[in-house]
Structure 1
Amino acid sequence: MRVRLDFAYDGTDFSGWAAQPGLRTVEGELGAALARILRAVVPPALTVAGRTDAGVHARGAVAHVDVDEPAWLALPGRSDLPPERAAVRRLAGVLPPDIAVRTARVVPEEFDARFSAVSRRYTYRICDAPELLDPLRRRDTVSVRRPLDAAAMDEAAARLVGLRDFAAFCKRREGATTVRTLLEYSWRREGHLLTGTVLADAFCHSMVRALVGAVVPVGEGRKPVTWPAEVAEGLERDPGVVVMPAHGLCLEEVAYPPEGEFAARARTARAVRTLPGETTS
């Protein structure tokens, strides 16, 4: 049976999501914990909605895993807990403190944590008064020395919203498209903290941190508000766009369609994205 896991983690001490030999990863820890509570010989395969880089955090991560029904039903043991609640409780007992599974529930086979998703929402936190940064937030907030104009950053960010080729903000991968639909990109200030919100159907590798790096020079007054959109139109990486540090980034939410639409959404997501007027070969 297929089980959906909703979980969170502090990415500080992880080498990203994906399991890698000799490195501590979120996938590695979560897979080992699942194998332990399910009494499996090898960790079950996990499919995640977003493969975060080293140092990136998550409050709203989602993954799915296929498990044997008898092992799932055996999770409550002698307790009267339902398997869903027993799974969460048992995982809490074996996972390290920097990972927390919030819910575990059976879903239809058509559900795919990655391809059924309709959007992912990230936030990025910046402090432009480092001397005032709360020491308890140093692991999820990036400090910059120059004061930032949040209104200018917000205006520049809004010009990037829509369906476009984001090649200028992505690390290219052979055979992969860089066309995405950016649904929202905004900035707001609260005291000495600025928070960027980035919402899209999907993201390329390092895209969010590059999008942040594109508007920081605008906030510093070194670039006009039109500059990030001009970079985007160029379709090439610009040396003026610095990929921002990972620890300011957090995956906040992954959204899905109603239950009956999982398969249709997955088919659409797997199709090659193109811009209007383009064709695929």
Structure 2
Amino acid sequence: MRLRIDLAYDGTQFHGWARQADQRTVQGEVEAAIAKVLRLDSSDVCLTVAGRTDAGVHASGQVCHIDVDDDVLNRAIGHMHDVSGTQALFRRIRRIVPDDITIYSVEEAVHGFDARFSASDRVYVYRVADELAHADPRLRNMVLRIDDTLDVEAMNEAVSSTIGLHDFGSFALPNPGGTTIREVKFARWQRVPDMNLTPMNIYHGGADSLDTQAVGADPRTDESAYEIEFAESGLLTFTIIADAFARNMVRSLVGASIAVGRGKKTVQWFADKVAHPQREGLTGPAPACGLTLERVNYPEDGLLEERANAIRAVRSLD
């Protein structure tokens, strides 16, 4: 049986997704948890992931899969009653994994599903606190702090040149036997608007209001007393969607964007890097802390196998 596992993690203390000898990785932790529940050797458990994340990179919508024999999967049931092996595995591993990993679900995958090759696109977001944003210390592990005011308009003009099918060799490294050709579907910088966590209308009656008997009457009439600022208000975010990403691609695009936003590089310089794939070393990848894999999208169930077969082919610009 092929199982689909959806999960999230804070990448701060991990040396990336991929299993490494003598290093703490997300794959290593999750595989160890599965091996413990199913009474297997860790070497007998192998996860296939939608997108390998680098050291320090986070994920809120990561997807992976694993193939397990039915008799082995049923070992997870133990003394549980009226649950399947899949449900039992989910209940047990979500309690075993460390606190910086959350297992959202474990489900039987539909026919043709491959966490990596069936994906239609992946969505990454990079978060930045420039001089116009509050550097909330609670978000320090997922936001890059910059002591400049960035020119968002210039940054968006720059990243507009990434839309479409391009060789991103100026910004990325190919995997062995692979290429740096990718199709970017969306790329945009924007500032998160100031938002309040507590809706103002909850103290004014109406269908969406809270029961004052339940929350307690409050004699204050100053509405500002209830203004609780959303933690991400004011941050700059770079959202990019592509069919896939090469190694260091997003962080290098962010680093180049920030150079433009600071006025140190021009929009034309950025466009030339896209048009002429060459690693000249003038800009490196932005720090990993600001990057999160937000979600992985898949086509309709009936198209999963077709998508997987198509994406395995070596890419070209033709």
Residue 154 in 1 paired to residue 156 in 2?
yes
Secondary structure in 2 aligned to 1:168?
Answer: coil
Give 1:224 shift: 2.4
Give 1:13 shift: 0.4
Change (3 A) 1:168 1:88: same
Q: Deviation above 4 Å: which 4+ runs of structure 1?
A: none
What are the Cα deviations for residues 94-131 of structure 1, in whole angstroms up to 9, with x where unaligned?
11001111010011452111111110100000111399
Q: Distance in 1 between matches of 2:125 and 2:133?
A: 22
Q: Distance in 1 between matches of 2:75 and 2:153?
A: 55
The 8 Å contact of residues 45 and 65 in structure 1, kept in 2 or not, is answered as: yes
Number of residue pairs the alignment of both structures matches: 276
The 8 Å contact of residues 132 and 149 in structure 2, kept in 1 or not, is answered as: no
1:109-124 to structure 2, matched below 5 A, reads 109-124=111-126
Amino acid paired to 1:257: P
Q: Distance in 2 between matches of 1:251 and 1:115?
A: 17
Q: Which residue of 1 aligns with 2:38?
A: 38
Q: Which residue of 1 aligns with 2:183?
A: 181
Residue 58 in 1 paired to residue 59 in 2?
yes
Secondary structure in 1 aligned to 2:237?
Answer: strand
Amino acid paired to 2:163: V
What are the Cα deviations for residues 243-267 of structure 1, in whole angstroms up to 9, with x where unaligned?
1001110001111111121211111
Q: 1:209 aligns with which of 217, 230, 251?
A: 251
Q: Distance in 2 between matches of 1:146 and 1:197?
A: 20
Amino acid paired to 1:103: S
Change (3 A) 1:175 1:72: closer
Q: 2:146 aligns with which of 135, 144, 147?
A: 144
Give 1:52 shift: 0.7
Give 1:176 shift: 1.4
The 8 Å contact of residues 130 and 143 in structure 1, kept in 2 or not, is answered as: no
Secondary structure in 2 aligned to 1:104?
Answer: strand
Q: Which residue of 2 aligns with 1:266?
A: 308
The 8 Å contact of residues 184 and 243 in structure 2, kept in 1 or not, is answered as: yes
Q: Which runs of 5+ in 1 are unaligned?
A: 277-281
The 8 Å contact of residues 231 and 238 in structure 1, kept in 2 or not, is answered as: no
Give 1:70 shift: 2.2
Q: Which runs of 5+ in 2 are unaligned?
A: 193-232
Change (3 A) 1:49 1:173: closer
Q: Distance in 2 between matches of 1:7 and 1:274?
A: 32
Secondary structure in 1 aligned to 2:52?
Answer: coil
Residues 204-213 or 67-76, more deviating = 67-76
What are the Cα deviations for residues 63-82 of structure 1, in whole angstroms up to 9, with x where unaligned?
00011212324434333344
Normalized against structure 1, the TM-score is what?
0.93
Residues 143-152 or 170-179, more deviating = 170-179
Higher relative contact order (CA 8 A, sep 6+): 2
Q: Which residue of 2 aligns with 1:196?
A: 238
Q: Distance in 2 between matches of 1:152 and 1:238?
A: 22
Q: Which residue of 2 aligns with 1:279?
A: none
What are the Cα deviations for residues 182-219 of structure 1, in whole angstroms up to 9, with x where unaligned?
11110101354100001100111100001111111111
- Percent sequence identity is 44
Q: Find the structure with the greater CA-based Rg.
A: 2
Q: Distance in 2 between matches of 1:174 and 1:80?
A: 46
Q: Distance in 2 between matches of 1:109 and 1:260?
A: 8
CA RMSD of the aligned region, Å? Answer: 1.7
Residue 16 in 1 paired to residue 16 in 2?
yes
Q: Distance in 1 between matches of 2:123 and 2:133?
A: 29
Residue 275 in 1 paired to residue 317 in 2?
yes
Secondary structure in 2 aligned to 1:176?
Answer: coil
Q: Distance in 2 between matches of 1:142 and 1:130?
A: 13
What are the Cα deviations for residues 41-84 of structure 1, in whole angstroms up to 9, with x where unaligned?
33411100111110000001000001121232443433334444
Secondary structure in 1 aligned to 2:76?
Answer: coil
Normalized against structure 2, the TM-score is what?
0.82
Amino acid paired to 1:38: L
The 8 Å contact of residues 151 and 188 in structure 1, kept in 2 or not, is answered as: no
The 8 Å contact of residues 187 and 197 in structure 1, kept in 2 or not, is answered as: yes
